[in-house]
Amino acid sequence: MASMHKKAITLGENYNQHQDVTLYQGNCIELLQQIPSNSVQLVVTSPPYNIGKEYEKKQRLHAYLDFQQEVIEACYRILKPQGSICWQTGNYVESGAIVPLDIRLYPIFEALGMKMRNRIIWRYGHGLHASKRFSGRYETISWFTKSDDYFFNLDPVRVPQKYPNKKHFKGNKKGALSCHPLGKNPEDVWDIPNVKNNHIEKTEHPCQFPVGLIERLVLAMTAENDLVVDPFVGVGTSALAALLHNRRSAGADIEPKYLAIAKKRIALLAQGKLKTRPMNKPVYEPKQQVKSSAFFATYGGASLT
């Protein structure tokens, strides 16, 4: 689906509260130091997983966690009291054994006094095939808030009801619809395709967010004109999700080629030409064709009990 956004977007390389988007080339700590304390409504990111991708140098796990702690503490400083941090991670792999990064990172958030509101499971249908364990097909989004007085708006992210015409069967509301007219809560397991080769949003980045995944977080946890920050912005997916809904964005990346792609995508958005997968589009389910087999040839439709 092509965006109908079409508006002038102001972009800068250093943070300025009056511009729509900041794309900083360099260490994210340098960008975060430019942003005033208590000014950001949402931090959403997918940090490197320390698995040796082209944009990261693999470190020992304790060194990786030390760096993540530095970034998380810097994000906490800039976060508003009503704000949220969404940290999307997968697994660190060492000699065939997996280490769930969200579990290792949880104590960092806890030590800052933050509270986890959800551990969202992002399930996707495609990935590498394992031969010595079950193939991984999910990652997690850890949602933390800075206080109990946090912003959350469910209505913009509601999904269609499973039983839209269900009614109360007794009591004062008998006969009235029992479900919410705007749809149901999307719950905490999200089935959203990851960005692989045939995805409409695909760029050359090897681990790219789908825009729809971040849109849901932006719409639920921010209001218009709020600031959304991504310390590891990559090809700008979080910036696009923010800009699509009239939020401001700031992000950093050490790779100039990814920031160049992000700028091109933002330019397409400004022209109304950016193609994205709709946020709540159902996952494609291929029609199953029953083929003949020795089993069916032998047993047909007969019961085996």
Q: Report in angstroms the alpha-carbon separations of 1 from 123, 203, 245.
A: 22, 16, 16
Backbone region of residue 239 per phi and psi (left: phi > 0; alpha: psi in -120 to 50; beta: other values): alpha
* CATH superfamily ID and name for 11-160+186-299: Vaccinia Virus protein VP39 (3.40.50.150)
Q: What is the pLDDT of residue 55?
A: 47
Q: What is the pLDDT of residue 146?
A: 98
Residue entry with tokens 């966690």: 65
Domain boundaries, the chain: 11-160+186-299
Helices (H), 112-255: 211-221, 237-244
Q: What is the pLDDT of residue 15?
A: 98
Question: Rounded to an integer, what distance in angstroms lies between the CA atom of residue 77 and that of residue 221?
Answer: 18
Q: What is the pLDDT of residue 169?
A: 76
Question: Rounded to an integer, what distance in angstroms lies between the CA atom of residue 230 and that of residue 242?
Answer: 11
Token output for 83: 């704000």
DSSP string, 174-197: TTSB-S-TT-B---SEEE-----T
Number of H helices, E strands in the chain: 7, 11
Q: Report in angstroms the alpha-carbon separations of 206 from 6, 32, 279.
A: 28, 25, 21
Question: Rounded to an integer, what distance in angstroms lies between the CA atom of residue 20 and that of residue 9?
Answer: 6
Averages of pLDDT over runs of 10 residues in the chain (305 residues) are 70 97 98 98 88 58 92 98 97 86 97 98 83 85 98 96 79 78 93 80 80 96 98 96 97 96 95 89 72 53 51
